[in-house]
């Protein structure tokens, strides 16, 4: 099965690279720590909204120690507009407390260490590793989950299973780009409810499976 899918996946990546030549992580950040916090905030929230919140947030809390020592209510108020702010504040502070005490305020560079931090799943870990340090990983967010199924690249619906399947059919050098390109395509053309198939550059390569 993987032998059949690999050539099509390669063509999809080639077309999407031409379609989104300037594709990169949409979350504004100046270092791996800011990217980590921004990615936590991006859950169930638009990148545009996160980018509106983070400049003031990082000015008030410039590092892990600042977040770790801040009153949780203050963090909640600062990130309120991103939604689910109580859970996000708890995750950010818990994560920063460990970063401060165990990692001297630095973000660890392995997936195994990252996923042990509060609020950090494989998706967030792969975003940070790939974008901050160019360490290969397949990011599977809601767009990637939806598009890989719709394009017939997987029958899985569990993000972790999708991640491992994509790692088998996509060359390691393309893992980071693959996730970022699908996210860009999901936002621009392959909408969940009304995909613009008539203008989609990869329409000839896509079986257009129905998916919610």
For the record, the structure tokens of 204 come out as 């000839």
Q: What is the mean pLDDT of residues 81-90?
A: 98
Check residues 212 and 69 and name the one with the higher pLDDT: 69
At residue 152, does pLDDT exceed 60? yes
Domains in the chain: ranges and CATH: 2-23+137-205 (1.10.1670.10), 32-133 (1.10.340.30)
Q: Which of 108, 131, 90 is nearest to 123 (CA)?
A: 131
Distance between CA atoms of residues 13 and 181, nearest Å: 8
Q: Which of 88, 100, 141, 174 is catalytic?
A: 141
Q: Which of 79, 74, 68, 78 is nearest to 43 (CA)?
A: 79
Q: Per residue in 118-127, pLDDT tens?
A: 999 999 999 9
Active site residue 123: yes
At residue 16, does pLDDT exceed 50? yes
Q: Which of 123, 145, 174, 177 is catalytic?
A: 123
Q: Which of 65, 134, 141, 59 is nearest to 104 (CA)?
A: 65
Q: Which backbone phi and psi does 99 adopt, to 5 degrees?
A: -60, -40
At residue 1, does pLDDT exceed 50? no
At residue 211, does pLDDT exceed 80? no
With 0-12 / 13-18 / 19 or more C-beta atoms within 10 angstroms meaning exposed / middle / buried, residue 59 is exposed
Q: Per residue in 183-207, pLDDT tens?
A: 999 999 999 999 999 999 999 999 8
């Amino acid at each position: 099965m993987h032998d059949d899918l690999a050539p099509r996946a390669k063509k999809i990546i080639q077309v999407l690279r031409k379609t989104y030549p300037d594709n990169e992580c949409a979350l504004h950040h100046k270092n791996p720590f800011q990217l980590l916090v921004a990615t936590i905030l991006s859950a169930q929230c638009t990148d545009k909204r996160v980018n509106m919140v983070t400049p003031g947030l990082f000015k008030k809390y410039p590092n892990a120690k600042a977040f770790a020592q801040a009153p949780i209510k203050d963090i909640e108020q600062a990130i309120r507009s991103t939604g689910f702010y109580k859970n996000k504040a708890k995750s950010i502070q818990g994560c920063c407390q460990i970063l401060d005490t165990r990692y001297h305020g630095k973000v660890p560079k392995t997936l195994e260490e990252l996923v042990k931090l509060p609020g950090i799943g494989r998706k967030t870990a792969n975003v940070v590793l790939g974008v901050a340090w160019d360490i290969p990983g397949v990011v599977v967010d809601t767009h990637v989950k939806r598009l890989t199924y719709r394009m017939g690249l997987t029958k899985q619906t569990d993000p972790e299973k999708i991640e491992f399947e994509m790692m088998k059919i996509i060359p390691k050098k393309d893992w980071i780009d693959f996730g970022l390109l699908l996210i860009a395509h999901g936002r621009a053309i392959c909408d969940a409810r009304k995909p613009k198939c008539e203008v989609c550059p990869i329409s000839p390569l896509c079986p257009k499976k129905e998916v919610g």
